[in-house]
Amino acid sequence: MALTKRRVITTRMLSAVSHMVLAGAVIHEGGLTVINSDGFALAGIEGEGLTCVGRAHTSADNTGGADGAQTVITRVDDASRYDNDPVAPVTRAHIMKACYIKDDVTVSSAAAGRSVAGTVVDVDADGVWIKFI
């Protein structure tokens, strides 16, 4: 039902968000982090149907653990620089467009078989700066 008077809304800072880690997954601090279709986090990998949830702010090792036995904190509040795919490089022409996950430290301009990493905000000699969500 539409509001008919002022309503106080509860808010939350989303700069750091906790995600349950997939059984057997290892996520390294600084790496691209994704969630699978069941909502469990793993290190960024090449594949379709994954959702990038940001840069790992902490490391998590769920080797031998069940789904959700460990958590990882991700950050989405800043731009992060990742390596550029030498085969299908991101260029300045891709600024403000999507780039795609090749692995947990590399982004690509090639979409086929890959999930979106984020939006390109800059490209320099050291890599690709991306913004999440």
CB 100 within 8 A of CB 117: yes
Same domain as 87, residue 114: yes
pLDDT confidence tier of residue 55, bands split at 50, 70 and 90: very high
Query: CB-based burial of residue 94 (10 Å sphere; 0-12 exposed, 13-18 middle, 19+ buried)?
Result: middle
CB 132 within 8 A of CB 118: yes
CB 51 within 8 A of CB 42: no
Share of the chain above pLDDT 70, in %: 100
Output the pLDDT for position 84: 98
Q: Does 13 score more than 90 pLDDT?
A: no
Q: Does 46 score more than 90 pLDDT?
A: yes
Task: Name the domain boundary from 32, 54, 75.
Answer: 75
Same domain as 124, residue 94: yes
Full domain range(s) for residue 51: 16-75
Give pLDDT tens digits for 87-132. 999 999 999 999 999 999 999 999 999 999 999 999 999 999 999 9
Task: Name the domain boundary from 54, 75, 96.
Answer: 75
- Please give the residue that has the higher pLDDT: either 77 or 71: 71
Output the pLDDT for position 124: 97
Mean pLDDT across 67-93: 96
Task: Tell me the C-alpha distance between 63 and 90, whole Å.
Answer: 33
Same domain as 68, residue 21: yes
Task: Name the domain boundary from 44, 75, 106.
Answer: 75
The number of domains in the chain is 2
Output the pLDDT for position 27: 98
Mean pLDDT across 8-37: 93
Mean pLDDT across 3-8: 90
Same domain as 112, residue 88: yes
DSSP state string for 9-69 = ------SEEEEEBPTT-EE-TTSEEEE-TTS-EEE-BS-SS-EEEEEESS-EE-TTPPTTS
Q: From residue 1, give the alpha-carbon distance in Å to each of 8, 9, 10, 58, 124.
A: 15, 15, 18, 41, 49
Same domain as 26, residue 65: yes
pLDDT confidence tier of residue 12, bands split at 50, 70 and 90: confident
